[in-house]
Amino acid sequence: MVKPFIIGTRNAREMLAIGAKILREGGSAMDAVEATIRAVEENPMDTGVGLGGIPNLLGVPQMDASIMDGRTLRTGAVAAVEGYLHPISIARKVLEESPHVLLVGPGAELFAEAIGFERSELLTDMSRTAYRAFVEDTIEGLDERFDERRKEYYAWYIENYRLREWYRKLSDAQQGTVNVMALDGDGDICSGVSTSGTAFKFPGRVGDSPIIGAGNYCDNRVGAAACTGRGELAIRLSTARTIISYMEHGMTVRDACIQAMRDIHALKETGGMNCLAFDRHGNTMSASTRRESIHYYMDIDSEEPEERRGVWVKA
Ligand code: GLY
C-alpha cells in the first residue's frame, strides 16, 4: 500500500504541509488538495493565482479552477470567475452540489453566491501597479482620462497591436498556475488546479486549468496529471488526459511526461508548457518544455517538502 502523499508545483511548496497534515490525520485527498490550493489562492505575492493574480485586459482578475475525484471521475470546474477568492472551492461545490461539470462567468458567480460564498476584492496594490504599467507601456496616447476613455483605448489596442501578436509575447512572459495532487489512505486520488490565467488576457479567455483533460485529470486506476504554462497548447492536445492515457498503455510516469512535452514541441508554437504527474504506485514526475523542472513532495511522515527534479524536454 502506498503511503499517502501530496505533490505540487513550486508555488505550492510552502503550503503542502497543510495538505500533508490533513492526510496524516486521515483526511481525504480532496480535502488535502482543496486546502493546499486555498492557501496558494490567499497568497497575495503569487501573481498567477487568486488574490493578487494579474488581471485581464480590462483590469479585472478572472479566475479558472478545477478539481477531480479519481475514484468516481467526477469533476467540478469554474472559468472566468470574477470577485471570489477561492475558485477551487467553488469548483468543488460544482462537483459535489450541482449536476454540472463546468460553470463559467456570471453563471459561476451566481452559483457561488447562491451557495454562500462571500465576494472579495482580488486586486492588490502590486497587481494594480502591474496593470497600470502594462497599459501605459502598450497603449499610445494614454492620458489622465484613462478611466473614462478605456473602451476607446482598447479598441485602438486591439486594432493596432494585433491581439495575436501581443498574446504571443505575453505567453512567454507570464504563466503562473498552481497544480496540487494527492493520494490518500483509502487509495483515492484527487487533482486540483487554480489560476488567474495569462496576464492581461482578453476578457473571457479560458485556459486549460478548468478544462478537464487539458489542464487536469486523475483516475485512481492510473494516477494524476496536471499542467501549467500556455493553456491553449494543453487544450489542443488534451495534455493531462493524454499523460494518463500514455500511462494506461504502459508508459512510466516519466516517459509519459516526456512524451507529452514532445507533443507540445511538435505544435511548433511559442509559449512553454509544464506538467506534473504521479502514478498510482506513488512515483512522481514533472517535465517542462522551457526550463529545469522541479516539483515538491510530502508524505504523511515528511517534516518538510522535498524538492524533486523533473525533466527539461528540449525541442
Ligand atoms: N495554464 C494556465 C492558463 O493557460 O491559463
pLDDT at site 199? 86
Rounded Cα distance between 70 and 212, Å, is: 12
210 lines ligand 1 (CB under 6 A): no
The residue with cell 463559467 is 104
Compute φ and ψ for 5, nearest 5 degrees: -150, 165
Task: Give the count of beta carbons closer than 10 Å to the beta carbon of residue 163.
Answer: 12
Q: Is 223 in the pocket of ligand 1 (CB under 6 A)?
A: no
Choosing from 208, 211, 238 the residue with most ligand 1 atoms within 8 A of its CB, the one to mutate for a pocket test is 208
Cβ neighbours of 116 (radius 10 Å):
7
- Three-class DSSP category at 23: helix
pLDDT category of residue 143 using cuts at 50, 70 and 90: low
Q: Report which of residues 54 and 179 the model is more confident about.
A: 179
pLDDT class for 174, splitting at 50, 70, 90? low
Percent of the chain with pLDDT over 70: 88
Query: Active-site residue 228, yes or no?
Result: no
* pLDDT level of residue 16 (50, 70, 90 thresholds): very high
Please tell me the predicted confidence (pLDDT) of residue 271. Answer: 82
229 Cβ closer than 6 Å to some ligand 1 atom: yes
Q: Is the pLDDT of residue 197 over 70?
A: yes
If you ran DSSP here, which 8-state letter would residue 47 be given?
A: T
pLDDT of residue 149: 65
Within 10 Å of residue 114's Cβ, how many Cβ atoms?
Answer: 10
Q: What is the CATH number of domain 5-120+175-312?
A: 3.60.20.30
Q: Which residues pair with 8 in a beta bridge?
A: 180, 296
User: To which residue does cell 518538510 refer?
Assistant: 304
Taking CA atoms, 78 is separated from 50, 56, 59, 109, 202, in Å, by 13, 16, 20, 9, 17
Least confident span in 168-172, 202-206, 236-240, 297-301: 168-172
pLDDT band at 7 (very low <50, low <70, confident <90, very high): very high
Q: Is 288 in the pocket of ligand 1 (CB under 6 A)?
A: no
247 grid coordinates:
500511462
What is the pLDDT, as a whole number, of residue 171?
54
Distance 227 CA to ligand 1 centre (A): 8
pLDDT at 158: 64
Mean pLDDT for the chain?
91
Q: In the chain, where are the structural domains located? A: 5-120+175-312
Q: What is the pLDDT of residue 260?
A: 98
DSSP state of 201: P
Edge-to-edge strand list for the sheet holding 189-195:
102-104, 75-81, 63-69, 189-195, 177-183, 5-8, 294-299, 306-309
Say if ligand 1 is within 6 A of residue 87 CB. Answer: no
To test ligand 1's pocket by mutation, which of 175, 212, 235 has the most ligand atoms within 8 angstroms of CB?
175
With a pLDDT cut of 90, the percent of the chain lying above it is 78
Distance 251 CA to ligand 1 centre (A): 26
Ligand 1 centre distance from Cα of residue 89 (Å): 18
Whether residue 255 contacts residue 279, with contact meaning beta carbons closer than 8 Å, is answered with no
Residue among 210, 197, 189, 209 nearest 77 (CA): 210
d(CA 225, CA 279): 9
232-279 pLDDT, tens digit per residue, is 999 999 999 999 999 999 999 999 999 999 999 999 988 889 999 999
Give how far Cα 83 sits from Cα of 86, 121, 140, 198, 219, Å.
9, 6, 30, 17, 31
Cα 107 to chain centroid, rounded: 20
d(CA 203, CA 212): 21
Residue 167 banded pLDDT, cuts 50, 70, 90: low
Q: Is the CB of 216 under 6 A from ligand 1?
A: no
Q: Which of 9, 47, 177, 198 is catalytic?
A: 177
Q: What is the pLDDT of residues 151-164, one digit of tens each?
A: 666 666 566 555 56
Residue 89 CB less than 6 A away from ligand 1: no
- Tell me how far the alpha carbon of residue 49 lies from the centroid of ligand 1, in angstroms: 10
Ligand 1 atom nearest to CA at 228: 1
User: Which H or E element spans position 125?
Assistant: helix 125-138
What are the tens digits of pLDDT across the range 65-83?
A: 999 999 999 999 999 999 9
Q: Minimal CA–CA distance to 209: which of 191, 223, 222, 221?
A: 191
| pLDDT tens digits, 31-52 | 999 999 999 999 999 889 999 9
Name the more confident of 233 and 172. Answer: 233
